[in-house]
Amino acid sequence: MSTLLSFDRVNAYYGNAHILHDFSLDVHEGESLALIGRNGVGKTTVVNALLGQARVRSGSISVDGRARPRWRPYMPAKQGVMVVPQGRHIIANLTVEENLLLGAAIQAKGPWNLERIYQLFPILKERAHTPGTALSGGQQQMLAIGRSLMGNPRLMILDEPTEGLAPVIVDQLGEIIRQVNDQGTTILLIEQNLHLVAGVSRRYLAVEKGSVVASGEVDPQRIEQLQQFVVV
Ligand SMILES: Nc1ncnc2c1ncn2[C@@H]1O[C@H](COP(=O)(O)OP(=O)(O)OP(=O)(O)O)[C@@H](O)[C@H]1O
Ligand SMILES: [Mg+2]
């Protein structure tokens, strides 16, 4: 089993604020891993360290077994890692379809294209020519996922995709994320919604104060045991 993404004792900062403390994680090819933790523990900073938006002062981050010698902003996407960012970041001046096409700018080869995204999310096809931000919250999240799939990622990182969404929409998104994983894309799901974690993830890492404090298999029958790590 190969490791797609690896953090090895990473210490990451915003200015002098030390956020990630010896943070280590391995994401294995094909798996569906959850990263859980309360607000402010550093979950998004993991993403930002990967994307170069938080400074890594020690430790290393490697994608596909290769440590990054000199970091460039386009590197994670080029190496097959796409992020569905917290807050979705739908571009207001662009239509739904134009937002989707942005994801394809990386020109990665793979199974995903507009037609397949529209099969997965028929509502995006119906609304293809409306402004992306005219969609409901759940539809915007679908658009953000579709946009990242357009980059044909090997690893998709979703940062709190269900924040502010109704339970029925959360269930729909869970079904979609499962399908994407079944079709071969590795998933790193950053979440506090344990119902979603139970439905989507096989393994979890729990974060407190910028470090991993617990890890193990996700047992959907005993998911409440993880409540100590999230805001309920
Ligand atoms: N750009 C920034 N500059 C300085 N400090 C920041 C910045 N972004 C986040 N922080 C701080 O870093 C810490 C970790 O934030 P981070 O966004 O990683 O948490 P999180 O676990 O993703 O929380 P949430 O669940 O609320 O999204 C917090 O104390 C936050 O205030
Ligand atoms: Mg966050």
Residue pLDDT, tens place only, 174-190: 999 999 999 999 999 99
Query: Do the strands 17-28 and 3-14 form a parallel or antiparallel pair, or are they unpaired?
Result: antiparallel
What is the C-alpha separation between 227 and 232, in angstroms, rounded?
7
Question: In a mutational test of the pocket of ligand 1, which residue from 43, 190, 213 has the highest number of ligand atoms less than 8 Å from its CB?
Answer: 43
At 25-70, the pLDDT tens digits run 999 999 999 999 999 999 999 999 999 999 999 999 999 888 876 7
Crossing angle for the helix pair 167-182 and 137-149, nearest 10 degrees? 10
Which residue has its alpha carbon closest to ligand 1 atom 28? 40
pLDDT score, position 108: 87
What is the C-alpha separation between 54 and 50, in angstroms, rounded?
8
Residue matched to tokens 């269930």: 171
**Overall average pLDDT of the 136-144 stretch:** 96
Sheet of strand 17-28, all strands in order from the earlier edge strand to the far edge: 17-28, 3-14, 55-63, 66-67
What is the C-alpha separation between 151 and 133, in angstroms, rounded?
21
Which residue has its alpha carbon closest to ligand 1 atom 7? 14
Q: pTM of the prediction? A: 0.96
**Overall average pLDDT of the 9-27 stretch:** 98
Which residue has its alpha carbon closest to ligand 1 atom 11? 40
Closest ligand 1 atom number to CA of residue 192: 25
Closest ligand 1 atom number to CA of residue 42: 18
Name residues whose C-beta falls within 8 Å of residue 137's C-beta, 6 or more positions apart in sequence: 164, 165, 169
Query: Is the model's pLDDT at 171 over the cut of 90?
Result: yes
Query: Is the model's pLDDT at 9 over the cut of 80?
Result: yes
Crossing angle for the helix pair 137-149 and 96-103, nearest 10 degrees? 30
**Helix residue ranges per DSSP H, 64-112:** 75-78, 96-103
CATH code that applies to domain 31-56+71-229: 3.40.50.300
Residue matched to tokens 């993403």: 47
Residue 90 φ/ψ, nearest 5 degrees: -75, 135
At 62-100, the pLDDT tens digits run 998 888 767 777 888 889 999 999 999 999 999 999 999
pLDDT score, position 69: 67
In angstroms, what is the span from residue 116 Cα to ligand 2's centroid?
Answer: 29
pLDDT score, position 72: 79
At 79 the three-state DSSP class reads coil
**Overall average pLDDT of the 7-23 stretch:** 98
Domain boundaries, the chain: 31-56+71-229
What the block records as the tokens of 148 is 């990242």
pLDDT score, position 216: 98
What is the C-alpha separation between 181 and 42, in angstroms, rounded?
25
pLDDT score, position 113: 95
**Residues framing ligand 1 (Cβ under 6 A):** 14, 17, 19, 37, 39-45, 86, 160
Q: Residue 6: how many CA atoms within 13 Å on its side-chain side? A: 15
Average pLDDT, the chain: 95
